[in-house]
């Protein structure tokens, strides 16, 4: 187990349901107690490629995981779980305890942030050690298939996903589309495009994703391993 040492509420009035794109809908993982679940597999990448299907999943917390949900995750072959929540949240809303022993690996990489463009941009800088560890986990083939989550699976999880997809060569609109897909799952999963754009502006300011991750201590060999593992040529 890795140990490192929420969000202000947003006004929900007048927020209308938002339909997800056909791409994000196709990647949805239908679970009963975990509303914001989808995989990254199939997302188009540069050079006539796509993310390897069945290897990377993002969700909200597994506190309300049902028996049928556990069966479904076992069918997906999930080996590793990465939890981005702070300790108080893990204690108050623990991932279902009888599911965790079924995993080969559990990683705890606690982070938090403010839900603003500046908050998104700053979070990886404030938690560079966790970002470095996250990408080291992504670089190990024995950790797949893996699932990662925070509380609602939209902010910290969204940042992790955006950085991973940027590394793999996804188009910016594909990255934003996956991020915004959380809106289709209910008002508690509210996000704004400007927030994730704030993060991506930080990537651009660093000179691109490789320079950005280099500045955050992610070794080149880990970045290359992630690309080898997760990029599938069409």
Q: What is the pLDDT of residues 11-48, one digit of tens each?
A: 333 334 444 555 567 799 999 999 999 999 999 999 99
Residue 66 has pLDDT above 70, yes or no: yes
> What integer is the mean pLDDT of 215-227?
98
Structure tokens at 221: 């060999």
d(CA 112, CA 203) in angstroms, rounded, equals 19
d(CA 125, CA 117) in angstroms, rounded, equals 14
Residue 50 has pLDDT above 80, yes or no: yes
Structure tokens at 113: 């942030």
Torsional sign, CA 91, 93, 98, 102? negative
Give the pLDDT confidence of 149-183 residue by residue, as tens digits.
999 999 999 999 999 999 999 999 999 999 999 99
pLDDT value at residue 26: 75
pLDDT value at residue 57: 98
pLDDT value at residue 25: 73
Proportion of the chain in helix, strand, coil states, percent, rounded to 5: 45, 10, 40
Strand residue runs (E) in 92-186 = 105-108, 146-149
Residue 220 has pLDDT above 70, yes or no: yes
Helix (H, G, I), strand (E, B) or coil at 127: coil
Closest CA to 95 of 157, 27, 33: 33
Give the pLDDT confidence of 72-115 residue by residue, as tens digits.
999 999 999 999 999 999 999 999 999 999 999 999 999 999 99
Residue 190 has pLDDT above 90, yes or no: yes
Q: Where exactly are the structural domains of the chain?
A: 22-233
pLDDT averaged over the chain? 91
* Dihedrals phi, psi of 232, to nearest 5 degrees: -115, 125
Q: Are 179 and 192 in contact (CB under 8 A)?
A: no
Residue 193 has pLDDT above 90, yes or no: yes
The percentage of the chain sitting over the pLDDT mark of 90, rounded to a whole number, equals 88
| CATH architecture, range 22-233 | Alpha-Beta Complex (3.90)
Regarding predicted confidence, which is higher, 9 or 55?
55
* Residue 115: DSSP 8-state: S
């Amino acid at each position: 187990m890795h140990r490192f040492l929420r969000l202000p509420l947003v006004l929900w009035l007048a927020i209308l349901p938002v339909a997800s794109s056909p791409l994000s809908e196709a990647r949805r993982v239908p679970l009963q107690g975990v509303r914001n679940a989808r995989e990254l597999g199939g997302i188009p990448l540069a050079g006539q490629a796509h993310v390897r299907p069945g290897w990377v999943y993002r969700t909200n917390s597994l506190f309300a995981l049902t028996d049928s949900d556990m069966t479904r995750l076992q069918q997906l072959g999930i080996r590793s779980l990465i939890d981005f929540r702070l300790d108080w949240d893990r204690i108050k809303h623990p991932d279902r305890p009888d599911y965790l022993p079924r995993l080969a690996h559990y990683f705890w990489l606690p982070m938090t942030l403010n839900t603003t463009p500046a908050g998104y941009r700053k979070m990886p800088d404030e938690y560079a050690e966790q970002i470095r560890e996250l990408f080291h986990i992504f670089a190990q083939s024995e950790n797949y298939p893996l699932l990662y989550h925070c509380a609602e699976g939209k902010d910290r999880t969204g940042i992790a996903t955006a950085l991973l997809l940027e590394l793999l060569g996804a188009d910016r609109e594909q990255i934003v589309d996956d991020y915004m897909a959380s809106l289709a799952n209910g008002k508690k999963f509210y996000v704004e495009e400007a927030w994730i754009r704030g993060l991506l502006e930080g990537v651009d300011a660093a000179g691109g994703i490789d320079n950005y991750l280099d500045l955050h201590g992610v070794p080149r060999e880990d970045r290359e391993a992630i690309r080898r593992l997760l990029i599938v040529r069409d």
